[in-house]
Structure 1
Amino acid sequence: MKPHLKVHYFQHIAGEGFGSCYSYLKEMNARMTATEFFALPVDLALDIEALPHVEDVDLLIIMGGTMSVNDEANYPWLKIEKRWLRRYLALGKPAIGLCLGGQLIANALGAAVSKSAAQELGWTTVRKINFVPDECFQLPEQFNVMQWHSETFEIPKGAVHLAENEACRNQMYQIGKNVLGFQFHPEITPEALALFLEDDEELALFNGVCQQSEDELKKSAKEKFLQGNQLLNKAIEYVLRKTAC
């Protein structure tokens, strides 16, 4: 591993930074930078050259967001972000996509993103897909994580399907040895969840059986966050180790 790992993250909404993996990355002496798409004027014609050079990024983390990957008319920077992603991924460099981030990677590579059969909001159980090859990222048989989505990705062509649950079949995938896409939020912290719950407009969009109440979520014990947080740390270690081989 490089002495100063250069980590860049794409942030789509205010307040949703690195989440739980910040401390883990700082322990690696990582140098962290960000592109804050949410801070750009809506009508700005962003040029791809305004983003970091792909050669200058050792690890990319793509965060979640309230927009759809398909909403390029209202968020024109989505086109540029996807173009940049294709350049970056073509070099076989490590990337982690979280919720919207997982959808963006999949969509940039030609997979559809559409309304999920069921919206998910709250703590749910996700299970490992049977017969995942041994060389792939290994998950627990089942684990409890935070969900917050109404759309979902198709598994990109050539990717390995890693995890599922009853509400949303495509919960996680792997591309090569360098890319892991999550539909859920392993990075969530109590502080980040509190910020999510302040968005009344976003909460109003959710109504379904796979949803916990705001009061329930506010009472989430700190221990609930740990399984996802540890899973994300292992995912980061995996893509860095595999691409260093």
Structure 2
Amino acid sequence: MKKLKVHYFQHIAGEGFGSCFEHLKAMDAEITATEFFALPTDSQLDIEALPHVNEVDLLIIMGGEMSVNDEANYPWLKVEKRWIRRYLAQEKPAIGLCLGGQLIANALGANVRRNPIQELGWTLVNKSDYVPDEYFQLPNEFKVMQWHSETFDIPKGAIRLAENQVCPNQLYQIGKNVLGFQFHPEITPHSLKIFIEHEENDMVFSETHLQSLNTLKTSQKSDYLCGNELLNNAIDYVLRT
């Protein structure tokens, strides 16, 4: 039986694959990665250095601190978006997480812009109204980890699946094979620790809709479960295509 080949794009050193690693290993998946964070900021990445799209059965694009619009400082963003367009043109399964969801949207021509309010911490998100039954199904309300200053517009041909008052576009779906998340369903205690350390060093967030870092340091195991289960279900859903 052919092994499931999963490739992920990583933008933060040490973040790893998030909560879905064990779920994918249980499928006996072969997991590989492109570590964009390891490239010099002036690196002229050749698209042929990335895997051939035919060698990838599932693409997962992780989060990151940069903006998808910051191609001047991160020139490899152009190449990453080109590769994403090539991959999606074949209607193959893909999941984008925070920056990853923004990258898919932007690669397909949607605007990524500053959200009026930054979101950081555990927040409630609601399932959007009128989502057809054949689309990825969500609880009516669920708690997830937010860590973003920017947000995506919904790409042409996509449908919005989730929203909240602070940031209306929380999750979109394209066809039956692409899901773009604004939040972080993959968050683990390990990755949250990295996020907190980065914020303590860089102080990126300054607006009001935030939980304190000290509060986040006391997150309970139960806080992670909803998002982690949601991501596992999302993987199963896009792989059914």
Aligned match of 1:170: 169
Aligned match of 1:159: 158
For structure 1, which runs of at least 5 residues remain unmatched after alignment?
none
Tell me the distance in 1 between the aligned counterparts of 2:221 and 2:202.
Answer: 22
Tell me the distance in 1 between the aligned counterparts of 2:199 and 2:180.
Answer: 27
1:202 deviation in Å?
Answer: 6.2
1:195 is paired with a residue whose SS is helix
> Does the CA contact (< 8 Å) of 1:66 and 1:202 recur in 2?
no
For structure 2, which runs of at least 5 residues remain unmatched after alignment?
none
| Distance 1:240-1:56 versus aligned 2 partners, 3 A rule | same
Aligned match of 2:104: 105
Tell me the distance in 2 between the aligned counterparts of 1:125 and 1:210.
Answer: 12
> Does the CA contact (< 8 Å) of 1:97 and 1:105 recur in 2?
yes
Aligned match of 1:140: 139
The superposition leaves residues 62-98 of structure 1 with CA deviations (integer Å, 9 ceiling, x where unpaired) of 0000000000000000000000000000000000000
The superposition leaves residues 30-78 of structure 1 with CA deviations (integer Å, 9 ceiling, x where unpaired) of 0000000000111111111000000000000000000000000000000
Tell me the distance in 2 between the aligned counterparts of 1:158 and 1:66.
Answer: 27
Tell me the distance in 1 between the aligned counterparts of 2:239 and 2:214.
Answer: 38
Tell me the distance in 2 between the aligned counterparts of 1:145 and 1:43.
Answer: 35
2:70 is paired with a residue whose SS is coil
1:18 deviation in Å?
Answer: 1.0
Tell me the distance in 2 between the aligned counterparts of 1:83 and 1:107.
Answer: 11
* Residue identity matched to 1:98: L
Aligned match of 1:236: 235
1:18 aligns with 2:20: no
Instruction: Report the TM-score, using the length of structure 1 for normalisation.
Output: 0.96
1:3 deviation in Å?
Answer: 3.6
Aligned match of 1:92: 91
Aligned match of 1:149: 148
What RMSD over aligned residues (CA atoms) do the two structures have, in Å? 1.0
> Does the CA contact (< 8 Å) of 2:199 and 2:205 recur in 1?
no
Aligned match of 2:82: 83
1:96 is paired with a residue whose SS is strand
The superposition leaves residues 176-195 of structure 1 with CA deviations (integer Å, 9 ceiling, x where unpaired) of 00000000000000111011
1:209 deviation in Å?
Answer: 2.3
Moved over 6 A (4+): none
Tell me the distance in 2 between the aligned counterparts of 1:221 and 1:44.
Answer: 40
How many pairs align? Answer: 241
> Does the CA contact (< 8 Å) of 2:60 and 2:96 recur in 1?
yes
> Does the CA contact (< 8 Å) of 2:176 and 2:238 recur in 1?
yes
